[in-house]
Structure 1
Amino acid sequence: MTTSTEAPGTARAASETVHPPRTAESGSDFARLAKRISRAGLLERRPRYYAVRFSVVSVLFAAGWTAFALLGDSWWQPAVAAFLGLVFGQIALLTHDLAHRQVFRRRRPSETGGRLFGNLGIGMSYGWWMNKHTRHHANPNHEELDPDVIPDILVWSGKQARESRGLPRFIGRRQAYLFFPLLTLEGFNLHVSSVRALFARGMKRRVLEAVLLSAHTAVYLGALFLVLSPGKALLFLFVHQAVFGVYLGSTFAPNHKGMPTFTGEDRPDFLRRQVLTSRNVRGGHLMDIALGGLNYQIEHHLFPSMATPHLRRARAIVREYCAELNIPYHETGLIASYREALRHLHAVGAPLRRGGRDAVPAA
């Protein structure tokens, strides 16, 4: 296992949600934890919670676009764009819960809701994201198997820094300073990746995904350029997507960045693989709302189908159990989590700043 300097402590089919191991490890450390969680009733669905949450987010979505229509060609529209950027982030978090079958137990209603809220609602392909996120859950922070730490623009480890070329090598020198500015482009990147995925092999329900994404794009851009002047429409587009990208990126950034990573065949058992690579973020109910429950990243990775409101109670059980087994359980405040992630990014970029390819810190 390779560990970052600041860290304290085979992919499945694309259409499947990652689930913890079951009968084969009935006597495993994870199985004993799962029994405690089950006895506490924390694997039950919470339909009323999700009914309220979906209703509130839908009202906010409608209110944002109503304000957009009433304001018309006004310079106040960037404020509406910023508000809708936050709402789009909340919709993305709800789509995440649908994908993990936290809302519905069955696959069909989960996929239907995911495509309606994801593809049609915010222009993000449910099928593409499901493929990517499933592989991440199966092998978090594994440099060859987790798509979230495979170098695209940023490098996440010393090995990746040594092998980087082109844009990742150029940006890697100052990637800690560029991380949050780059998130302003993440909203656009999600849309581009969604369209590119339509042409990838193995994409299921390709036509349906394409129709819903096209409908979203046509209505979204049509509304902007019909109501606003071209200059204001472009400004709205940038502010909206920038806020969406920064919010969503800031929600996911604290979860694993700067935590231990794996390479090759170095894969511990399910319990340790999920706990060691994840970081929780402390906070009250406001933090739960802002991060959509992903502040309980350890519990979410151990029990991905657990309804969001149960994660807070599960935390106490999981933390106590990890202490019994002497497994490092890491949680910190929100700002500290960003600090740890940025320090890690800065550390792995050190050899690129020196211009060398040999002395690379462990990452």
Structure 2
Amino acid sequence: MSVHTTGEPTVVQQRGESGAAGSDFSRLSKAITAAGLMRRRPWYYAVRMSLVALSYAAAWAAFLVVGNSWWTLAVAALLAVVFGQVALVAHDVGHRQVFRLRKASERTGRIAGNLGIGMGYGWWQDKHSRHHANPNHEELDPDVNPDIFVWSQAQAREATGLPKFIGRLQAYLFFPLLTLEGFNLHVAGVRALADRTLKQRRKEGFLLFAHFALYLGALFVVLPPGKAVLFLVVHQCLFGLYLGSIFAPNHKGMPTLTGEDRPDFLRRQVLTSRNVRGGWFTDLVLGGLNYQIEHHLFPSMPSPHLRKAQPIVARFCQEHNIGYLETGLINSYRQALKSLHDAGAPLRAAAATPGPRG
């Protein structure tokens, strides 16, 4: 079994002593369940979702109160953070951490995602489920498709178009390009409506376009056109940057898999994920996704339990000689950027090689 990586850290895949796929995870799962960490936390989510909803309403109220003033750009920055928190709630709802019933999860997810922030919930859930099934697998994980960035030197050698153009300097362009992620979410959600396999397609479309109408209507009614456009750009760019910065530390720079490289579930999730150390503030800003390893192993675990699960999972991985990586936030970004720079090496080499003379 081979694991490929384009930068730090290097992890060597090792089989469990039993050799049976999933047997190690079964033992870990029993320990987690026995600790009560898979129990739902209805009161926690009731409080959290209420606070997020109040913050959402307060931010828009501030927008109305501030009105036609340059201070409205500060409101745009505040609203970007609030939109990110709404996205994190939609994420937890999509993983069935909040509600036991699927219908309640989907209904709440569409209200938060489609109506609240203009993100196609059905499109996102399909994409995110495929990512969870095969994280960092170059053919199976949509998050490492070379559509803009190249994530390995093998992808760089095959790159054409935009990835080939960007790949040489992608480490320097990564965070600037994250500012476009908010716009990308909107476009992807609208494009997904053309897919007839999308569940509740009409409802998704109605809520999505209702968001756009209310959002743009509010901006252009309260603000003059130039200031409304500036508000939109600041808000959406900061929202994209915040959202991208939440997810960037989780897998970028970790080993990538190709072809038939598919370790058992436990190792597939642990070896391709990275945890970020921090306290309550880190938990709040990153929505618990700083415990990425535990989240990938137990995606339906309520986010406040991830911190408690962390020492159990870390100890289990140490006992079974499974590489478990935890680092600081800044270092996680450094590793991700170094990996991106290393992945683009073939493109830089090709650009530096003079072509044949006529």
Picking from 180, 194, 202, the partner of 1:185 is: 180
Letter in 2 for 1:6: E
Matched ranges for 1:296-311 at <5 A: 296-311=291-306
Matched ranges for 1:201-240 at <5 A: 201-240=196-235
> Are 1:85 and 1:240, in contact at CA under 8 Å, matched by a contact in 2?
yes
Picking from 234, 240, 249, the partner of 2:244 is: 249
C-alpha deviation, 1:160, in angstroms:
0.7
Letter in 1 for 2:216: L
Matched ranges for 1:1-363 at <5 A: 1-9=3-11, 28-355=23-350
The two structures have a TM-score, normalised by structure 2, of: 0.94
> Are 2:7 and 2:335, in contact at CA under 8 Å, matched by a contact in 1?
no
Change (3 A) 1:104 1:346: same
Letter in 1 for 2:163: P
Structure 2 distance, partners of 1:272, 1:282, is 21
Structure 2 distance, partners of 1:183, 1:26, is 37
Where 1:194 maps in the other structure, the secondary structure is: helix
C-alpha deviation, 1:351, in angstroms:
1.4
Structure 2 distance, partners of 1:344, 1:26, is 29
> Are 1:162 and 1:357, in contact at CA under 8 Å, matched by a contact in 2?
no
Structure 2 distance, partners of 1:195, 1:27, is 38
C-alpha deviation, 1:356, in angstroms:
6.0
Task: Give CA deviations for 1:255-290 in whole Å, capped at 9, x if unaligned.
Answer: 000101111111000000000000000000110000
User: Once superposed, which parts of structure 1, at least 4 consecutive aligned residues long, lie more than 3 Å away?
Assistant: none
- Matched with 1:17 is none
Task: Give CA deviations for 1:81-138 in whole Å, capped at 9, x if unaligned.
Answer: 0000000000000000000000011101000000000000000000000010000000
C-alpha deviation, 1:3, in angstroms:
2.0
- Matched with 2:15 is none
Task: Give CA deviations for 1:319-340 in whole Å, capped at 9, x if unaligned.
Answer: 0000000000001000000000
C-alpha deviation, 1:27, in angstroms:
7.2
Structure 2 distance, partners of 1:85, 1:271, is 35
C-alpha deviation, 1:5, in angstroms:
2.6
Letter in 1 for 2:81: L
C-alpha deviation, 1:26, in angstroms:
9.9
Where 1:204 maps in the other structure, the secondary structure is: coil
RMSD between aligned residues: 1.3
> Are 2:135 and 2:269, in contact at CA under 8 Å, matched by a contact in 1?
yes
